[in-house]
Amino acid sequence: MRMTTVWGAALLVLGLAAGPAAADSTPSASPSGDASAPTSAGTSFRTATEIEQGRTATASASTGDYLYWSFAADALERPTVRATVKLPASHAAQTWQVDVYDGLRRRQACQYGAQTRTAAQGAAEVEVECVLRTVRAWSEPWADDPLPGTYYVRLTTVRLQTADLGRPVDATVRVESKDVGGSAAVDGWLAEPLVPGVAVTSQQNGKDDDSARTAVLSGIEPDGGWSSGWWSDRWVWTGIGAVLAALAGIGGYVLTRGTGRPGRVPPGA
């Protein structure tokens, strides 16, 4: 009876703790609707259009232009960037490429995905994709690991016939992330996310002088703000292991301690 109680408690603890941990492994929810999604793209890093994850941004441009967007990615996320370009009715073969840079403007390698694709002559559209490595909460200064902060998306052609230069195209870009969870957690975090200063805003104090203006990093950040980097579901599973180890010790004690009373010691022994 006691062993049944012990293992019942263990299963209850396991079920309660595994619930939130399992929720962390699901992809991040996408905001409903794209009514507020941007309809233009920047032409450089400094003018990159900010987009939110889960929303589809659109832009009209000319073949040969460099199109830039930026988005925020936090620790333990694995961002996926997908871009689709609708081409003119008639055109020669052309190659499109999507590149992703972090807040320090370091080009990030794609873990997988067709980063570069060639549209055959007369094709209606071309789609490129880049799945980044998991964003780490901390890394060595010399490493090139993805870190929390702003990421830039650059979409352009890399091989183009002169006759197609300047022809109108329509592009769509969408960024989504998968929450990888504690398997990618590290023992450390950045003091601040890698977000460059791109704007100046006034404090809400009714003043409009220089002393009332403070520099801000960026207008975009993940839902719920930037993660501090110390929490992950790895703590949940560590707690589960500790509880199960304690329950196993109690169970072993119950099984081995015996049920009989110790013999009485004779008087005078």
Q: How many helices (H) and strands (E) does the chain have?
A: 2, 13
pLDDT at 176: 95
Q: How far apart are CA 46 and CA 34, in angstroms?
A: 24
Angle at 174 between CA 86 and CA 87, to 5 degrees: 5
Among candidate residues 112, 90, 109, the one with its CA nearest the CA of residue 99? 109
Strands 149-159, 94-101: pairing is: antiparallel
Q: pTM for the full model?
A: 0.69
Instruction: Specify the range with the lowest mean pLDDT, choosing from 62-66, 84-88, 120-124, 198-202.
Output: 198-202
**Residue 18 pLDDT > 90:** no
Residues of the chain above pLDDT 70, percent: 68
**Residue 197 pLDDT > 50:** yes
pLDDT at 182: 63
Token readout for 142 is 């010399």
Backbone angles phi, psi at 58, to 5 degrees: -125, 160
Residue 99 pLDDT level (bands cut at 50, 70, 90): very high
DSSP 62-94: ETT--EEEEEEE-TTEEEEEEEEEEPPSS---E
The 10 Å Cβ neighbour count of residue 143 is 10
- Per-residue pLDDT reduced to its tens digit, 141-194: 788 889 999 999 999 999 888 999 999 999 999 999 988 876 666 666 777 888
pLDDT at 238: 73
Q: How far apart are CA 23 and CA 76, in angstroms?
A: 14
CB 113 within 8 A of CB 174: no
List domains and CATH numbers for the chain.
27-181 (2.60.120.380)
Nearest-10 crossing angle of helices 2-24, 233-256:
170
> Is 29 or 5 the better-scoring residue by pLDDT?
5
**Residue 204 pLDDT > 50:** no
pLDDT at 88: 92
- Based on its alpha-carbon atoms, the radius of gyration of the chain, rounded to whole angstroms, reads 28
- Per-residue pLDDT reduced to its tens digit, 238-254: 778 888 888 888 888 88
The 10 Å Cβ neighbour count of residue 163 is 9
